[in-house]
């Protein structure tokens, strides 16, 4: 099974917080490839894909940020109608819950957090989808 | 009770100081002797000071006696301070304690009667009696507010509506439909009732409500004015605490220059909270109360943590029993939220029941409309939150439930960074 590593960052509900996170990473020379921000009226969650998640995680922890590394699926998708629907259909037919999803649009990669990575990986790769490891996300072969 | 008996009861507030002090001395000797014989903690503290149960010769000898504190109730939880056999106890009430375990108070039949006498006398000062309908919106149950006022009102022949707290719309409907003339609850809850009644289109001027008996939390003169202006009722301040018996330890009078303490039952002193030294009347300090007529769990020199003054001189209402200044602050970290005592240590205790949660928190008290609300900000850790909104909401809910089960109030839990 191949998965990508995501930084999951807890954001307290205060102004400038997401800025501080991005600034900390930028100052450390860490490039953010894509991100997704979820929020409630009490707090937020920032999900980030960076090239070296372990190193970035350590830097954030040292800055007092609450951060976890989460394994997510990175699915290569074609730029045509109905592709996402197909993914959802396959997952739902196998009773796999989708927690959240976002895109790495530049490279046409769809990032998925599901209830069962292993099972979802088997089903999607068995149905012609190509799933990438964290390293493959950043290799030039996947450049579009 | 016969009318003449009730009049005699009310007259106790007017007896001569000589007569009052001779009753106090007799009762003090008696209760000291009773506690000395039947309670190991009191006896050992007396012996440490080289005292025995014959040490009371005059009233001011009370100043020699050791103090009791809330921590003593907790340390001897549940029945370590009991001075009579359990079979003589007919009632247990409890209030929240400082670390999650409650404070239990046990009453004999006579103790319940003593408490009832105090609440009857308190209500009589407000002129409440037979013919009145009292909506008792204090919580019934372990909290002393509900049962305390209930017995007092019933003893006077008042029609009691034991509605307890909550369900504000029903409170207002029944108040209006039944022609309720008096209500008892916390002052902040009554302000909430006023607001709600306005929203629902009720007019207090058209209701029969005339009196409010408000207590169980510190409140200001400004709050009293607001209640009276907006509802047209008379707002009376009643003081009490579970450790001493419950509501009815002291009561407002029409002169509004302090709350009269029923000092033939509850002996007041004010001390310097630092040194423990007794202070003369007219000086501010910590209020200390001795129960003169309670035998199940007598409290001798109980430190209330409430800051007050024993008011000098006689009251223009003619009552000879002394007054204490209205309580508006305390000298510990206890919060009173909607009539419920909340200690920060209880929040801490609740947090410690959840694996992975650190007892690092902020408590924020806000007033929304007229109700106090509690927000607890809790430090989140990486292990707890995972990567989904839902995982954090689960933790919030767990923490909220743990706190609610200890303090009895719903709180807003906000996760924060360390």
Per-residue pLDDT of A105-132, as tens digits, reads 778 899 999 999 999 999 999 999 999 9
Residue A27 at interface with chain B, using a CB cutoff of 8 Å: no
Pairwise pLDDT comparison (B335 vs B105), residue with the higher score: B105
Residue B102 — very low, low, confident or very high, per pLDDT cuts 50/70/90? confident
Q: Is pLDDT above 90 for B328?
A: no
Q: Concatenate the DSSP letters of all residues of B134-201 into one string.
A: EEE-SPPSSSHHHHHHHHHHHHTTPEEE---S--HHHHHHHHHHTT--EEEE-HHHHHHHHHHHHHHT
Nearest to B160 by CA among B194, B139, B130: B130
Chain A closest-CA separation from residue B380 CA (Å) = 8
Nearest by CB to A68, from B387, B396, B417: name it: B387
Q: Of B380, B389, B390, which is closest to A66 when you measure between CB atoms?
A: B380
Q: Find all residues with CB under 8 Å of A93, minimum gap 6, and list them.
A: none
pLDDT digits (tens, 9 = 90+) for A48-105: 999 899 999 999 998 889 999 999 999 999 888 999 999 999 999 999 999 999 998 7
Instruction: Tell whether the model's pLDDT for residue B17 goes beyond 90.
Output: yes
CATH class of A72-139: alpha beta
Q: Which among A6, A40, A66 has CB closest to B385?
A: A66
Would you call A43 and B414 a contact, using CB atoms and an 8 Å cutoff?
yes
- Chain B residue numbers touching A61 (CB-CB < 8 A): 382
Which of the residue ranges A8-22, A79-93, B172-186, B190-204 has the most confident prediction, judged by mean pLDDT?
B172-186
Mean pLDDT over B296-311 rounds to: 94
Measured CA to CA in angstroms, residue B40 lies from A22, B54, B303 at distances of: 65, 17, 19
CA distances from B261 to A93, B185, B288, B357, B391 (A): 74, 20, 12, 45, 53
CB-closest option in A13, A45, A64 to B389: A45
pLDDT of residue B160: 98
Element (H, E) at B75: helix B70-75
The confidence score (pLDDT) of residue B331 equals 67
Instruction: Output the CA–CA distances (angstroms, integers) from residue A132 to A55, A78, A94, in the order listed.
Output: 20, 14, 21
Q: Give the C-alpha separation, B148 to B26, whole Å.
A: 26
Residue B100 has pLDDT above 70, yes or no: no
Distance, in Å, from the CA atom of B58 to the CA atom of B126, rounded to the nearest integer, reads 33
pLDDT of residue B329 exceeding 80, the answer is no
Total CB pairs under 8 A between chain A and B: 51
- Using an 8 Å CB-CB cutoff, list chain B residues near A10: 380, 382, 385, 392, 415, 417
Q: Give me the CATH topology for the region B343-416.
A: GMP Synthetase; Chain A, domain 3 (3.30.300)
Find, among B76, B65, B69, the residue nearest to B41 by Cα.
B76
How is residue A106 annotated by DSSP? Answer: G
- What dihedral angle (degrees, nearest 10) is formed by the CA atoms of B356, B359, B362, B365? 100
pLDDT the model gives residue B99? 47
User: Cβ of B392 and A99 within 8 Å?
Assistant: no
Condensed to tens digits (0 to 9), the pLDDT of residues B74-83 reads 899 999 999 9
Helix ranges, chain A (H):
17-27, 53-62, 83-93, 117-126, 134-137
> What Å distances lie between residue A52 and B44, B182, B196, CA to CA?
68, 70, 57
Contact: B392, A43; criterion CB under 8 Å? yes
- Within 8 A of A65 by CB-CB distance, chain B residues are 417
> What does the pLDDT average to over B102-122?
96
Cis geometry, peptide bond prior to residue B34 (ω within 30 degrees of 0) = no
What is the Cα B120 distance to its own chain's centre? Answer: 16
Instruction: Name the A residues in 55-114 with CB < 8 Å from any B CB.
Output: 61, 64-68, 70, 99-100, 113
Instruction: Give the nearest chain A residue to B396 (CA atoms).
Output: A42
pLDDT at B268 over 90: yes
Three-state DSSP class for B18? helix
* Cα distance between residue A123 and residue A120, in whole Å: 5
Q: Return the pLDDT at B243.
A: 93
Q: How far is residue A42's CA from residue A44's CA, in Å, rounded to a whole number?
A: 7
In chain A, what are the domain boundaries? 4-71, 72-139
Å between A12 CA and nearest CA of chain B: 5
CATH fold of the domain at B3-333: Rossmann fold (3.40.50)
Nearest Cα residue in chain B from A64: B418
Fill in the DSSP letter of residue B415. Answer: E
Predicted pLDDT of residue B98? 42
Taking the C-alpha atoms of residue B140 and residue B149, their distance in angstroms, rounded to an integer, is: 10
CATH class of A4-71: alpha beta
Contacts of B415 in chain A (CB under 8 A): 10, 12, 42-43
Question: Whole-angstrom Cα distance, residue A71 to residue B402?
Answer: 32
Question: Beta-carbon neighbour count of residue B229 at 10 Å?
Answer: 9
Q: Mutation test of the interface with chain B: which of A43, A60, A112, A114, choosing the one with the most B Cβ atoms within 10 A?
A: A43
Give me the helix-helix angle, B40-48 and B17-38, nearest 10°: 100
Q: What DSSP letter does each residue of B319-340 carry, written as one string?
A: --S-EEPPP--BSSS-EEETTE
Average pLDDT, rounded, for chain B:
91
Select from B387, B413, B381 the least CA-distant residue to A37: B387
Contact B385 A38 (CB under 8 A): no
Residue B191 pLDDT: 85
Residue B127 phi, psi (nearest 5) = 80, 20
- How are beta strands A109-114 and A67-76 bridged, if at all? antiparallel
Optimal mutation site among B377, B387, B413, B416, interface A, most CBs of chain A within 10 A:
B387
CA distance A143 to A106: 9
CA distance B402 to chain A (A): 20
- The set of residues, in sequence order, having a beta carbon less than 8 Å from that of A62 and lying 6+ positions away, is none
- Closest Cβ opposite residue A66 in set B381, B393, B414: B381
CA B340 – CA B41 distance, rounded (Å): 29
Q: Which residue has 């006077």 as its token pair?
A: B156
């Amino acid at each position: 099974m191949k998965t990508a590593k995501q930084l999951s960052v807890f954001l307290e509900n205060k102004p400038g917080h997401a800025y501080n996170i991005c600034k900390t990473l930028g100052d450390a020379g860490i490039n953010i490839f894509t991100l997704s921000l979820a929020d409630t009226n009490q707090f937020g969650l920032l999900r980030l894909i960076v090239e070296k998640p372990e190193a970035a995680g350590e830097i954030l922890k040292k800055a007092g940020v609450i951060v976890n590394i989460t394994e997510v699926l990175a699915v290569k998708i074609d730029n045509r109608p109905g592709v996402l629907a197909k993914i959802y259909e396959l997952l739902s037919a196998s009773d796999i819950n989708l927690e959240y999803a976002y895109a790495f649009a530049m490279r046409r990669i769809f990032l998925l957090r599901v209830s069962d990575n292993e099972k979802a990986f088997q089903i999607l790769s068995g149905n012609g989808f190509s799933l990438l490891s964290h390293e493959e996300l950043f290799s030039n072969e996947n450049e579009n | 009770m016969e009318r003449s008996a009730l009049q005699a009861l009310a007259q106790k507030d007017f007896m001569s100081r000589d007569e009052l002090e001779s009753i106090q001395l007799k009762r003090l000797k008696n209760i000291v002797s009773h506690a000395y014989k039947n309670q190991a903690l009191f006896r050992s503290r007396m012996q440490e000071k080289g005292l025995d149960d014959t040490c009371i010769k005059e009233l001011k000898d009370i100043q020699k006696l050791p103090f009791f504190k809330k921590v003593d109730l907790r340390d001897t939880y549940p029945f370590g301070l009991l001075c009579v056999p359990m079979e003589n106890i007919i009632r247990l009430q409890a209030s929240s304690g400082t670390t999650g375990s409650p404070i239990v108070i046990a009453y004999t039949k006579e103790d319940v009667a003593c408490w009832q006498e105090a609440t009857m006398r308190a209500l009589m000062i407000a002129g409440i009696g037979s013919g009145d309908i009292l909506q008792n919106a204090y919580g019934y149950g372990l909290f002393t507010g509900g049962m305390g006022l209930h017995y007092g009102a019933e003893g006077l022949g008042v029609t009691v509506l034991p509605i307890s707290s909550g369900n504000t719309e029903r409170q207002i409907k029944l108040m209006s439909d039944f022609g309720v003339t008096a209500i008892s609850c916390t002052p902040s809850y009554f302000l909430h009732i006023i607001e709600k009644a306005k929203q629902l289109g009720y007019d207090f001027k058209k209701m029969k409500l005339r009196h409010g008996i408000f207590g169980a939390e510190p409140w200001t003169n400004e709050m009293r004015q607001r209640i009276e202006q907006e509802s047209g009722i008379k707002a009376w301040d009643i003081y009490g605490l579970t450790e001493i018996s419950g509501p009815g330890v002291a009561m407002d009078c029409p002169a509004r220059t302090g709350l009269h303490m029923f000092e033939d039952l509850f002996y007041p002193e004010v001390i310097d909270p630092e040194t423990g030294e007794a202070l003369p009347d007219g000086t501010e300090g910590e209020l200390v109360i001795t129960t003169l007529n309670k035998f199940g769990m007598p409290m001798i020199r109980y430190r209330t943590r409430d800051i007050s003054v024993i008011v000098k001189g006689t009251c223009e209402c003619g009552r000879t029993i002394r007054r204490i200044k209205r309580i508006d602050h305390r000298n510990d970290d206890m919060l009173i939220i909607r009539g419920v005592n909340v200690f920060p240590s209880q929040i801490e205790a609740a947090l410690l029941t959840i694996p992975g949660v650190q007892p690092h928190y902020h408590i924020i008290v806000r007033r929304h409309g007229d109700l106090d609300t509690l927000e607890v900000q809790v430090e989140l850790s990486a292990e707890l939150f995972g990567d989904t909104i839902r995982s954090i909401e689960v933790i919030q809910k767990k923490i909220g439930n743990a706190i609610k089960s200890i303090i009895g109030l719903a709180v807003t839990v906000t996760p924060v960074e360390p």
